[in-house]
Amino acid sequence: MNDIPMKHSSAWVSFVYGSFAASIVLTGGGIFFLPVDVWIKGYLAMGMAMIVQTAISVTKTIRDNEESGRLHRKIEEARTEKLLSEHESKL
């Protein structure tokens, strides 16, 4: 198992941040310039904010679950190694 985490390049990180910012600005601008009443714009802006918050929460939850599983596998591997070493010492 490879325990060395891969780091993203600075170009990729910049691209991701730029894409996120552009999507927020462009969607917000689209909502702002819609020819509808203010309350409809507010509803759409609230929906956009909730989608962004939910996407961030889902991403964090997936990452946390993966890290938890990785830690659990390490603990299980350590237990297995200990049992094998104890068994070999008795032989």
- For residue range 46-75, list pLDDT tens digits in order: 999 999 999 999 999 998 888 888 888 888
pTM: 0.66
Q: How many domains does the structure of the chain reveal?
A: 1
Provide the domain limits for residue 52. Answer: 10-90
> pLDDT higher for 79 or 34?
34
Taking the C-alpha atoms of residue 25 and residue 48, their distance in angstroms, rounded to an integer, is 11
Mean pLDDT of 2-15: 81
Structure confidence at residue 4 as a pLDDT band (50, 70, 90): low
DSSP designation for 3: -
Residue 71 lies in a domain: yes
Taking the C-alpha atoms of residue 74 and residue 82, their distance in angstroms, rounded to an integer, is 12
The per-residue pLDDT for 20 is 94
Residue 34 lies in a domain: yes
